[in-house]
């Protein structure tokens, strides 16, 4: 009996011990859970909160100025095609399928309101050849838009709607942009209206992209996708500093490289389209080319800044002012020239009839001339010479054979019968001349700034070169003139 009592007491003691231990750990766990439940989020730095709030305010401020643009284009099938040929129909397995003579194509894009009376900026490729343009606002109102005008050379177009209570975007100064600044891109990618993406300015003054004739693009990594075209790029003050135009992509989607037309260029184009219905540009009358390190060295420059004059149009403002072939344009209207694209844009944006001071380098000395800008003729353009060799330097003249330039050969090459020089009629495959980009039919007219009128002049100039010497050649290729440097082998 006593043994049974002790056994019962022992079980009670063990139970109490287990219960106490369990209660202890249970309370610990409950306390931990309570601790987790009352866990306090680490404090976020005030600057981050303020920055996030600022971006939200910017997006909220600019969104009412951003519009969706949908276009409809009526496509027509040409009559008299083989699909309407009865003999073709007998053999055509799809003869019961009747292709419509006309159908509609629709596309989407973006735009930005820039005036309270309804003017909207977009891209030319968004509304080009559209039969109907519809604009949908942030508040879902929809209007039929009137096409005002377009400039294909910058891919900018203007449309207008008749509506009340419109909010216009504020213009920013794109000339003051700095690489690294935060920007927001807003638009209608893939039909997703008023999508906002953030990035930075990756580069400014981007040219030679192959998108437009006059390029001075802002490059950004803010996500830009199909449908964003025509939408605004804004700075951290919510100001319009660019119009999203294109992306660089191998897949067709976003890859971190987008381009926008600067606001200052856009505004100039818009003002002319609204006021005159067309865009007029200034003309200087020069063919210009980039300065390479080798060309800069030959012309006594310490950098590649500036534009080398390869040719002068007869009767042009440049010729009248005294600018000569071989001059290097260093400044235009008080602004330094960084490259060819920079000068082209400055000239194009100059007011017709204005007198512009230009600083040139000639023979190691700087000169200043004044040029009266005229309107760019329709069949001409300030441009770099076509088909200029990508790398204008090579090791020597080996692999190149030249002959006299007769009047008949000049005629066949499309040159004036009185042109002087020697014509390249053979370039050996794999030779330094071929690697340099020299082609059959090129006419060499100068070596080291001395005229080459025939083979005698050419042979004297070449025979006088020592191995390793660099010579400056002036080449005429089908009327396009440019300089190259040559190292003798």
Banded pLDDT at 385 (limits 50, 70, 90): very low
Mean pLDDT of 179-204: 90
Share of the chain above pLDDT 70, in %: 78
pTM of the predicted structure, to 2 decimals: 0.67
Are residues 327 and 236 located together in one domain of the fold?
A: no
pLDDT recorded at residue 471 = 74
Q: CB–CB of 169/235 below 8 Å?
A: no
Q: How many domains does the chain have?
A: 3
Banded pLDDT at 388 (limits 50, 70, 90): very low
Asked if residue 143 is part of any domain, the answer here is: no
Distances (CA, A) of 320 to 316, 324, 329, 385, 485: 6, 10, 16, 21, 29
Asked if residue 458 is part of any domain, the answer here is: yes
pLDDT over threshold 70, residue 182: yes
> For this structure, is 316 an active site residue?
no
Q: Find the catalytic residue in 65, 229, 316, 350.
A: 229
pLDDT recorded at residue 171 = 96
pLDDT recorded at residue 29 = 52
**248-295 pLDDT, tens digit each:** 665 555 677 889 999 999 999 999 999 998 899 999 999 888 888 888
Are residues 198 and 246 located together in one domain of the fold?
A: yes
Asked if residue 478 is part of any domain, the answer here is: yes
Domain end (from 260, 276, 292) = 276
Domain end (from 276, 300, 319) = 276
Asked if residue 71 is part of any domain, the answer here is: no
> For this structure, is 142 an active site residue?
no
pLDDT recorded at residue 11 = 56
CATH number at residue 343: 2.30.42.10
**Of the segments 33-37, 78-82, 103-107, 412-416, which one has the largest average pLDDT value?**
412-416
153 vs 161: CA distance, rounded Å: 24
Are residues 272 and 317 located together in one domain of the fold?
A: no
pLDDT recorded at residue 398 = 60
pLDDT recorded at residue 188 = 86
Average pLDDT across the chain, whole number: 80
Domain range spanning residue 221?
A: 174-276
pLDDT recorded at residue 463 = 73
> For this structure, is 194 an active site residue?
no
Distances (CA, A) of 217 to 210, 229, 323: 11, 14, 29
Are residues 188 and 271 located together in one domain of the fold?
A: yes
Mean pLDDT of 189-213: 84
pLDDT recorded at residue 210 = 72
Asked if residue 58 is part of any domain, the answer here is: no
pLDDT over threshold 80, residue 303: yes
Mean pLDDT of 8-12: 54
Asked if residue 21 is part of any domain, the answer here is: no
Q: Find the catalytic residue in 155, 216, 311, 327.
A: 155
Are residues 442 and 419 located together in one domain of the fold?
A: yes
Are residues 188 and 272 located together in one domain of the fold?
A: yes
Asked if residue 35 is part of any domain, the answer here is: no
Asked if residue 131 is part of any domain, the answer here is: no
pLDDT over threshold 90, residue 411: no
Q: Find the catalytic residue in 65, 70, 110, 125.
A: 125
482 vs 2: CA distance, rounded Å: 122
**Of the segments 85-94, 350-359, 426-435, which one has the largest average pLDDT value?**
350-359
Are residues 434 and 454 located together in one domain of the fold?
A: yes
**351-365 pLDDT, tens digit each:** 999 999 999 999 889
Are residues 353 and 399 located together in one domain of the fold?
A: no
pLDDT recorded at residue 26 = 52
């Amino acid at each position: 009996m006593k043994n049974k009592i002790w056994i019962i007491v022992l079980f009670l003691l063990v139970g109490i011990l287990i219960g106490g231990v369990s209660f202890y750990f249970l309370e610990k766990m409950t306390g931990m859970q309570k601790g987790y439940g009352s866990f306090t989020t680490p404090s976020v730095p005030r600057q981050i909160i303020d920055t996030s709030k600022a971006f939200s305010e910017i997006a909220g401020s600019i969104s009412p100025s951003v519009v969706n643009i949908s276009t409809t284009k009526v496509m027509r099938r040409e009559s008299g095609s083989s699909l309407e040929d009865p003999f073709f129909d007998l053999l055509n397995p799809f003869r019961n399928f009747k292709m419509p003579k006309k159908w509609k194509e629709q596309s989407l894009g973006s735009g930005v309101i820039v005036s309270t009376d309804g003017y909207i900026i977009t891209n030319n490729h968004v509304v080009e050849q559209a039969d109907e343009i519809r604009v949908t606002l942030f508040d879902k109102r929809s209007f039929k838009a009137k096409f005002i005008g377009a400039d294909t050379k910058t891919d900018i177009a203007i449309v207008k709607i008749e509506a009340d209570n419109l909010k216009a975007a504020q213009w920013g100064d794109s000339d003051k942009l700095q690489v690294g600044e935060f920007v927001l891109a807003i638009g209608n990618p893939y039909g997703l209206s008023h999508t906002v993406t953030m990035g930075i300015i990756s580069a400014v003054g981007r040219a030679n992209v192959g998108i437009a004739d006059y390029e001075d693009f802002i490059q950004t990594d803010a996500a830009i996708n199909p449908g964003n075209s025509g939408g605004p790029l804004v700075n951290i003050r919510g100001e319009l500093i660019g119009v999203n135009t294109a992306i660089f992509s191998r897949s067709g989607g976003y890859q971190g490289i987008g381009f926008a037309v600067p606001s200052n260029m856009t505004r100039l184009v818009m003002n002319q389209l609204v006021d005159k219905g067309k865009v007029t540009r200034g003309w200087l009358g020069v063919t210009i080319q980039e300065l390479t390190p080798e060309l800069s060295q030959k012309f006594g420059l310490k950098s590649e800044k500036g534009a080398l004059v390869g040719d002068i149009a007869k009767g042009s403002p440049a010729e009248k002012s005294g600018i000569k072939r071989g001059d290097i344009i260093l400044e235009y209207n008080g602004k330094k020239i960084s490259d060819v694209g920079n000068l082209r844009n400055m000239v194009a944006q100059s007011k017709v009839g204005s007198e512009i001071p230009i600083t040139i380098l000639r023979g190691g000395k700087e000169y200043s001339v004044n040029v009266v800008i005229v309107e760019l003729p329709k069949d001409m353009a300030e441009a770099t010479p076509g088909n200029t060799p990508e790398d204008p330097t090579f090791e020597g003249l080996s692999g190149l054979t030249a002959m006299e330039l007769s009047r008949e050969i000049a005629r066949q090459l499309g040159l004036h019968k009185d042109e002087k020089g020697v014509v390249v009629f053979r370039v050996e495959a794999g030779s330094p001349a071929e690697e340099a980009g020299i082609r059959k039919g090129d006419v060499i007219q100068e070596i080291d700034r001395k005229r080459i009128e025939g083979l005698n002049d050419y042979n004297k100039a070449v025979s006088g070169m020592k191995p390793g010497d660099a010579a400056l050649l002036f080449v005429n290729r089908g009327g396009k003139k440019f300089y190259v440097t040559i190292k003798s082998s």
